[in-house]
Amino acid sequence: MKPIEILDTVILTYPFLLFIFLTVNNQILGIDSWYWTKFTGISPLFANIFSLVMYYAVYLLFRISQHPKWKLLAFYFLINPFTIRFFIFELDDYFYFLASFIAILAFKKYRIHIAVASVLLYLIAHPHLILPGITNGLTHIETAVSIYSMLYVLPAIIFLFQNNRKALIPLLVLLILSPTGKFSSTALPVLIFSLYLSLRSPKANYMSSLFLAVLMIGSIFIYATHQMYMNNYVEEKFCSKNTCHLPEEYWQYGHYLAYKGYVVDGGMEYGVCRCYNRECLLLNLTSCR
């Protein structure tokens, strides 16, 4: 078996293992994904199926691109930690990804232009991510400046450095403009998708590629395990009968507890449409501020 076939097998196989792991434990990844699961009226099983389809849809987009080295590009795209976004059941993000990727494939001459425009539109829609904290003074999980923002795209940085260093310029500029996890894991993949397809003859070292893949896959399973542990911990510590009283530092578990049927009181906000406290449990977009 050729090295690229081994790498291809790795990224095609592990999502099934993650799907089984989450489904057996009746869990899904993410915070807002619990809101979308309850809002759409589906079970965690179908949310995980939807996420699995999303992951393989992104993989197939590289095949559709007909790039001579599409398997290598798909591999180096899907081993970035931002891939976890494809496993998080958030319909608004799925629409953003697919619309942007399809537009980039459809208009080959304007790939970079479309990608940059898409990323900038994302920033316009999320102004609190621009130079975090300056625009509205928020101190929030979405606006937190962290080294993790670069880790989300680290394999892409390495790959582009090896194949086209000039392509790193727009990526690093945007990363400096918004060094947040939300931006680098949701908007930057669109730019990276475009930059990859512009590479003529990409190359990569087999062993280092395999190492990065194992590291990323291990990180995703650790994240999933930790999230399950915290969901159970918060439920046991702050919930009694049918009510949960959440301290602000645990606000992000509000959607999960609401999905479980609890009335959640306290906490800062739960992350969808900036709803607050019991308002988030109405599951009606008209209740959003």
Mean pLDDT value across residues 29-40: 86
Q: Are 150 and 172 in contact (CB under 8 A)?
A: no
DSSP state of 203: -
* Per-residue model confidence (pLDDT) at position 137: 42
Helix (H) or strand (E) holding 266, with range, is: strand 263-266
How many Cα atoms are found within 13 Å in the side-chain-facing hemisphere of 223? Answer: 18
Quote the mean pLDDT of the chain. Answer: 85
Mean pLDDT value across residues 113-133: 82
Radius of gyration of the chain (CA): 19
Q: How far apart are CA 123 and CA 130, in angstroms?
A: 7
Q: How far apart are CA 171 and CA 116, in angstroms?
A: 10
Q: How far apart are CA 8 and CA 6, in angstroms?
A: 5
Q: How far apart are CA 253 and CA 230, in angstroms?
A: 9
* Per-residue model confidence (pLDDT) at position 123: 86
**CB-CB neighbours of 56 under 10 Å:** 13
Share of the chain above pLDDT 70, in %: 86
* Per-residue model confidence (pLDDT) at position 285: 42
Tokens of 219: 């990180």
**CB-neighbour burial class of residue 136 (10 A; exposed 0-12, middle 13-18, buried 19+):** exposed
Q: Round to the nearest angstrom and report the end-to-end CA distance of the chain.
A: 55
**CB-neighbour burial class of residue 240 (10 A; exposed 0-12, middle 13-18, buried 19+):** exposed
Q: Are 270 and 254 in contact (CB under 8 A)?
A: yes
Render pLDDT for 131-188 as a digit per residue (tens, 0 to 9). Answer: 655 444 444 555 666 667 788 999 999 999 999 999 999 999 988 888 888 889 999 9
Pick from 130-134, 149-153, 213-217, 235-239: least confident:
130-134
Q: How far apart are CA 137 and CA 76, in angstroms?
A: 36
* Per-residue model confidence (pLDDT) at position 140: 55
